[in-house]
Amino acid sequence: MAKPGILGRSSMPRSNEGMRLVFSAVIGIMLGYLFGISFPTVNITKLHFPSSIVSYIEDRNSGITTQTLLNHAWTSANSHKKNNSDSKSDEIPKIYVTSNPKGAERLPPGIVVSETDLYLRRLWGEPSEDLTIQPKYLVTFTVGIAQKANIDAAVKKFSENFTIMLFHYDGRTTEWDEFEWSKRAIHVSVSKQTKWWYAKRFLHPDVVARYDYIFIWDEDLGVQHFNAEEYIKLVRKHGLEISQPGLEPDRGLTWQMTKRRGDREVHKVTEERPGWCSDPHLPPCAAFVEIMATVFSRDAWRCVWHMIQNDLIHGWGLDFALRKCVEPAHEKIGVVDAQWIVHQGVPSLGNQGKSENGRAPWEGVRGRCRKEWGIFQARLADAEKKYYLDQGITPPNSTSV
C-alpha cells in the first residue's frame, strides 16, 4: 500500500512543472508575436549603405562587422517608416515604367542609362574630370600587321576629334604599340573575321551614340589627298547621311558612281553601262556607295546596323540596300570628290581563307562573298514581300491582280 502512496505524491510536482512549461511557451509566443508586428518591414531598395560599408566590402580588415551592416539597415528602414507614418500602407509601391528600354521597366527612369560610349576612363580621380576632350567622330579600321605602315599613315589624317578603333583579324596587337596613337586607340582582336562581323558585335547604335559620324574603313586605302576634318565639313554642307571619299580613277575602281570627279565637291548621281540602271535614282547610278570606305551619320548607322545579318560577314549586297535607311536616298547618299582616296586592292583578308580542293585561299573567300550576296538579296526581297502581304498590300512589281 505504501508504493501507490509514494507514486501519488510524486506526480503532483511533475504536473505543476508541466503546467509551468506550457504557460512559459504561451507567454513566449505572445511576446514574439507582439515584438514581430512592431518590427519595421524592410524593403531592400531602401537600404542605403555608407561609404564605410563599401570600404568593408573591399577591405575586410576595416573592423566593420556584419552586425554593423544589419544595424544600419534596420535603422534606415525604421526611419523611412516614421517619415511615412501618414501612409495608409507600409508597402512600397513597385516600379514599372513601360517607356523604359526593354528589360529595364522595373528601374526608376532617373537611373537608366540606355546609351554608352567608347571613351577611355581613368582608374582614379573624379569621374567628371576624366575626359579632357570628348571625340565627336569614330573611325574603325579592320587590320592585319602587314598593313601597319599604311594604317599609321591613315590614322594621322584623323584629328583628336576622332576615336580610333582597330579590329585585328590576325590576332597581333602588341606590335602596334610602337605608335603613340595606338596607346590611345581601342583594340579588338578576333582572328579571321571581317569588318561587318566586328561592326555587328561591337558597334551597336547605343554604344556609338555619342559620335556624329562613324567611319568603317578597310586597311588598304591610300589617304595622301584626304583630310578627315575637311571631309566632315563637306558631308554636313551637302546633307549626306551615307557617303564615301571619291576613288582615284586609275586604281581599284569597280563602279562609275565612286569614281572621283575633279570639277566638284560632291556628286550624287552618275551614268553606268547601258541597262545597269532601271531608275536613275537607284543603285548603281544613285543612292549608292561601296562598302570599302563608308561613312555613316549616327541616325543612318542605327538603321544600317539592324540590317546587317549576323551570319553574313562579308557585306556584299549591303551597299545596294543602304538606300533603305535614308530618305530621299538619292539626295542623302553621295561621294565626296574634294577629299579622295586610292583603293590599293591589297588582298590581305583574302589570304586569311583556307585552301580547299586545290583552290587558293582567296578563291574560297571570294566564293563566299558571292554566295552571301545572293542570300542577302533573297532575304531582303522575302522580308519586304511578307511585310506588304501582312499589311494587305500588293507587293511592288508583283504581277498578281
39 pLDDT more than 70: no
Check which CATH number belongs to the domain holding 318 and give it. 3.90.550.10
Q: Which residue(s) pair with 221 in the sheet? A: 343
Average pLDDT, integer, range 289-316: 96
| pLDDT for res 24 | 67
Q: Does 284 sit behind a cis peptide bond, omega within 30 degrees of 0 on the bond before it?
A: yes
- What is the tens place of the pLDDT at every residue in 200-219? 999 999 999 999 999 999 99
Domain presence at residue 251: yes
Domains in the chain: how many in total? 1
Domain presence at residue 218: yes
Q: Which domain holds residue 185?
A: 127-346
Domain presence at residue 336: yes
Read off the pLDDT band of 51 (50, 70, 90): low
- What is the tens place of the pLDDT at every residue in 226-247? 999 999 999 999 999 999 999 9
Predicted TM-score (pTM) of this structure: 0.77
- What is the tens place of the pLDDT at every residue in 255-270? 999 999 999 999 999 9
Domain presence at residue 381: no
Domain presence at residue 312: yes
Average pLDDT, integer, range 342-366: 75
Domain presence at residue 99: no
| pLDDT for res 252 | 65
Average pLDDT, integer, range 8-22: 54
Domain presence at residue 166: yes
Sign (positive/negative) of CA torsion 319, 324, 326, 330? positive
Domain presence at residue 304: yes
Among 204, 294, 291, smallest CA distance to 243 is for: 294
* Residue-level length of the chain: 401
CA distance 84 to 226: 65
